[in-house]
Amino acid sequence: MGSLEAGDVSHQRDNLHDRGTATIMGIGKAVPRHVFQQKSYPDYYFEITNSNHMVDLRAKFANICAKTMIEKRHLYFSDDMLRTNPSLMAHNSPSLTLRQELADVGIPQLGAEAAINAINDWGKQASDITHLVVATSCSGCMPGADCELGRLLGLRPSTKRFMMYQVGCHGGCTALRLSKDLAENNPGSRVLVVCSEVCTLSLRGLSASHIGDLVGQAILGDAASAVVVGSSPDADERALFELLATSQETVPGTEESLVSKLREDGIVYNLRRDIPLHVSDSVERLVERMLQKARVPPLDRNKEVFWVVHPGGRGILDRLESRLGLKEEKLAASRAVMRRYGNTRCSSVFLVMEEMRRWSENRALRTAGEGLKWGLIVSYGPGITVETILLRALPNKEVDA
């Protein structure tokens, strides 16, 4: 079947077995055990980087942290690990080998924890997985994290694997889009999607000449998330969301707006102030175009749509909320994830989906999408690349009963 770019989803049959539309059947997450409180992080960061003498920059960093709305972040690095390896917190220090070695271990380990939770939520065995899609914004080795994940999870040797490195914050949508195509074109397949992020390549000391990188130090956190995707659910499987249509757009003229480069001291970020403007403009256009092509009836964005938005930063969420005319509560799940975990890059959209799903279940709502039928996933990353996925939340049988 492939990703739907046009067609009438509103008139498709309701029988999932007849239609074969890809669905999300299980969701899981995992975070490192090392927690850093945002309020005290500026003091900690400047102390561990031996930068307390940079008074003005310290005040600037503290101001950035205070405006993020983040309360805490989980990081793969422990305090002891950082103090034992001072090159990790030095600016422009050639430490790529050490960083890569840490990522080679951390990415599959954290990813495996999230994957186990997703498989348990799905209710079947790891041996029932037929395809594995792994995404991360860091690392790069062969065999890759996908191969190590397969070993840690006990997947069958015949499992078909896809490894995506350096995908950026929109990578969760990219991986989910690929899983939709795999599930719909391979009858009976069950696709495990794992997004795992650790800051081994990006955490470093500060520089007054790289303010964009300073923002990254203030907002990035570590987490892994996973989903199980398949079409035509069996009687003992529970479908939470249908993946109806996907889109991706590279915003013209924004090549330098959101950039990360791999250097000897890891990944260095360059972030421009116009990112919220470009993202909000593109999202509004893509959403309208997707709904029109899918021939979905006109929808009230507040009353009839739930929003799973990548929490890339407070300014972007504020701008999207304003541009789309959304009430404050419509991005509550994204803001909750931002508060508790920061920007966890490609793993974040599934964290938001899980947050919304639990919120809906705790209130005994009819669907995992705040009780609503229609939903949209929105993510964005380097390029600037903007991805959207149209969802249909399926009724909770227990609530309906």
Residues serving a catalytic function are 169
d(Cα 401, Cα 396) in Å, to the nearest integer? 9
CB distance 333 to 317 below 8 Å: no
Amino acid at 106: G
Contacts with 53 (C-beta within 8 Å, 6 or more apart), sequence order = none
**Is the dihedral angle over the CA atoms 363, 368, 371, 377 positive or is it negative?**
positive
Q: Among 223, 227, 268, which residue's Cα sits nearest to residue 72? A: 223
d(Cα 169, Cα 165) in Å, to the nearest integer? 12
Where helices occur in 54-167 by DSSP H, the ranges are 55-67, 79-84, 96-122, 145-153
Q: Which residue has the tokens 């395809």?
A: 131
d(Cα 55, Cα 57) in Å, to the nearest integer? 6
Q: Which residues pair with 309 in a beta bridge?
A: 378
d(Cα 224, Cα 160) in Å, to the nearest integer? 21
In whole angstroms, how large is the CA radius of gyration of the chain? Answer: 21
Amino acid at 151: R
Residue 366, token pair as written in the block: 């009819």
H/E stretch holding 164 reads strand 160-164
Contacts with 354 (C-beta within 8 Å, 6 or more apart), sequence order = 27, 28, 29, 225
Contacts with 288 (C-beta within 8 Å, 6 or more apart), sequence order = none
Helix (H, G, I), strand (E, B) or coil at 47: helix
